[in-house]
Structure 1
Amino acid sequence: METTNYQLILEKLESKASLKQAIYRNTVDVFAIAKKSLSKLASRLYQDYTVKDPSVEVTYKDAHQFEAELKFSGDMLLLSMHSNIFNFEEGHRIYSTSYVKANPSLSYCGVIYIHNFLADSIKYNRLADEGTLIARILINKEKRFIVEGEGQLGFLYEAFSETEINEEVLTHILELAVLDCIETDLQLPPYATVKDITLHQKQTTLAASGYPTGKRLGYMFKSEVQQNNSL
Structure 2
Amino acid sequence: MNSDQDPIDCIKKLLESKSTAKQATYRHILDAFSVFSNEAKRVADELVRRAHPEDKDVTVEFVVISEHEFHVKLAGDMLIFVMHTNIVTFEDTHPIMKEEYILQNEVNRYFGQIMIYNFMADSLKFNRTNDPGYLLARVMINHDNRFFVEGEKELAEFNKISEGPVTEEFLRKIVKIVLRMAIENDLIAPPFTEVKSITLYQKRAHTPELGGGQKIGFRMSYENKTEG
Q: TM-score range by the shorter chain?
A: 0.7 to 0.9
Q: 2:147 aligns with which of 145, 148, 153?
A: 145
The match for 1:215 is: 214
TM-score normalized by the length of structure 1: 0.85
Q: Write the distance in 1 (CA, Å) between the matches of 2:60 and 2:38.
A: 16
Contact 2:28/2:145, CA 8 A, preserved across alignment: yes
What whole-Å deviation, never above 9, does each CA across 1:32-82 have from its counterpart, x for those lacking one?
111011111111221221477643200101111110111010000111101
The aligned counterpart of 2:224 is none
Paired positions, count: 214
CA distance in 2, matches of 1:202, 1:214: 16
Task: Answer yes or no: is the 8 Å Cα contact 1:58–1:72 preserved in 2.
Answer: yes
Among 120, 123, 126, the alignment partner of 1:124 is 126
**Structure 2 CA distance, aligned partners of 1:19 and 1:175?**
30
Shift of 1:164: 2.1
Matches within 5 A, 1:60-99: 60-99=62-101
C-alpha distance 124-147 of structure 1, shift in aligned 2 (>3 A): same
- Name the structure 1 match of 2:199: 198
How far apart are 1:214 and its partner, in Å? 5.5
SS of aligned partner of 2:33: helix
- Determine if contact 2:62/2:70 at 8 Å carries over to the other structure: yes
Contact 1:115–1:134 (8 Å) recurs in 2: yes
Query: Which residue, out of 110, 114, 117, partners 2:116?
Result: 114
Contact 2:190 2:214 in 1 (8 A): no
CA–CA distance in structure 1, aligned partners of residues 56 and 203 of structure 2: 34
Which residue in the other structure is 1:228 paired with? none
Aligned to 2:226: none
**Structure 2 gap segments, 5+ residues each:** 217-228
Query: Is the deviation greater in 188-197 or in 71-80?
Result: 188-197
User: TM-score under structure 2 normalisation?
Assistant: 0.86
Corresponding letter in the other structure for 2:183 = I
Given that 1:130 and 1:214 are in contact with CA atoms closer than 8 Å, whether structure 2 keeps it comes out as no
Distance in 2 separating the partners of 1:82 and 1:129: 22
Q: CA RMSD in A?
A: 2.1
Deviations 1:161-199 (A, max 9, x none): 223222221121121112221121111112121011111
| Inter-CA distance 50–83: structure 2 relative to 1 (3 Å threshold) | farther
Measure, in 2, the Cα distance between the counterparts of 1:197 and 1:96: 49
The answer as to 2:176 corresponding to 1:185 is no
